[in-house]
Each structure stands twice: as C-alpha cells, then as structure tokens.
Amino acid sequence: MLNEQFYIQDNVVQIAQDLLGKILVTNIDGQTTSSMIVETEAYAGVNDKASHAYNGRRTKRTETMYAKGGVAYVYLCYGIHHLFNIVTNIANVPHAILIRGAEPIDGIDIMMKRRGVSTLKNTLTAGPGSLSKAMGINTNHTGLPLYGSDIFIEDRGIVIRPEDIIKGTRVGVAYAKQDALLPYRFWLNDNKYVSKAKGL
C-alpha cells in the first residue's frame, strides 16, 4: 500500500492527480471491498474558500484535517451522505482530497448489498455519497490512519496516461466565490464511474 511519505507531500493538487488509478480498499464488518479511484477533488487548506478549514477555521469536526497526512476525514453531508476524504500534508496544514468516484473491483456483491441494488450500474460507486456507502465507510472512520487494516490505498501498478486525466472545477462549491473556479477536480477520461455532476 502507499506509504506515509506519499500523503505528506506538499502539493495537494498533484496528489489528487496521482490518486487516480490507485486502489481504495476497505475491510469493514469483516467484509473486504476494493475499487479504483477515478475522480478526485483537492481542497487546498486555509486559503481555499471551498475548504472547511478556510481561514484556519478549526472546530471539532475539522480537527481531523489538521492531522498529519495519511488519515481519513469522513463527515456527514445533508444529514444523509458520508463523504470520504484523504488528509494530506504535514500536521497543522489542513489539506484534503475528496474521493468522488471509483470503479468497483473486489466485493462487488457486498457493495451492491450495502446499496440495496440487485444489478451492477455505474451509480453503484459514482459520486462521493454513493461510493462511501458502497465501501462501508461512515463517520466512525474519521481520523483512521490509511496505513491500517481497515482502510488503505494500494498501488497495483496501474499507469494513467497524463492525457487521460481531465481537469475541471469542483462540484457543489458555488458558495466559495472565485475559488469555485479553480481547476481542482480531476477524473479519468471516458470512465463511467465518474460522477455525473455538472462542473466542467
């Protein structure tokens, strides 16, 4: 799996791109599932109006973002959806990367059961809320290290060509004014597990 050094790099935008094609593995409730990351968004700390940690905002919820890179930041959105982020950079620099979409690999039957569907469709793991539910991730996992046995990320040698990485604006952050225009969203060209949300 990816080592600690990977998560402590300074350039969160670069890490967000490097995560494409990596494998997210969860071992939750005794059930193992994995999927290839195909869509990410970078949240670049205190100067990023779209980030929960903008302007150094530090609360009980966002405290996890200030941890040293390599832990999970999971929070509840709209009272319904658990959104999974990867914290990066050194301690007290609140960078994070939202995982928005992934392509199912192992334990597809388990993921379908968690989502309550009987057929495999792209909506199984497209979109941050759906992905978290399929992988069994919830707010109990916030702060968990990504080097542990419950949640971790592997490099299985999948190489993504630079021309297959598409850049765009982030989704659902219109409130961030000019920072909403930053090209901090990355996804794989033509992958059907990329969320359908608007934001090109």
| Contact range with DNA by CB under 7 A, out of 14-22, 76-84, 159-167, 181-189 | 76-84
Nearest to 26 by CA among 72, 66, 91, 68: 72
Q: Determine if 71 is a binding residue for DNA (CB under 7 A).
A: no
Q: How far is the CB of 165 from DNA (least distance, A)?
A: 19
Whole-number Å distance between alpha carbons of 6 and 169: 24
**Nearer Cβ to DNA (34/64):** 64
**Nearer Cβ to DNA (171/188):** 171
* Residue position matching structure tokens 């949300």: 197
Q: Determine if 161 is a binding residue for DNA (CB under 7 A).
A: no
**Nearer Cβ to DNA (70/162):** 70
**Nearer Cβ to DNA (145/172):** 172
Q: Determine if 57 is a binding residue for DNA (CB under 7 A).
A: yes
Q: Give the count of beta carbons closer than 10 Å to the beta carbon of residue 85.
A: 23
CA distances in angstroms from 30 to 26, 27, 105, 192, listed in the order given: 10, 6, 17, 29
Helices vs. strands in the chain: H and E counts, helices first: 4, 8
Q: Determine if 81 is a binding residue for DNA (CB under 7 A).
A: yes
Interface with DNA (CB under 7 A), residue from 8, 28, 46, 76: 76
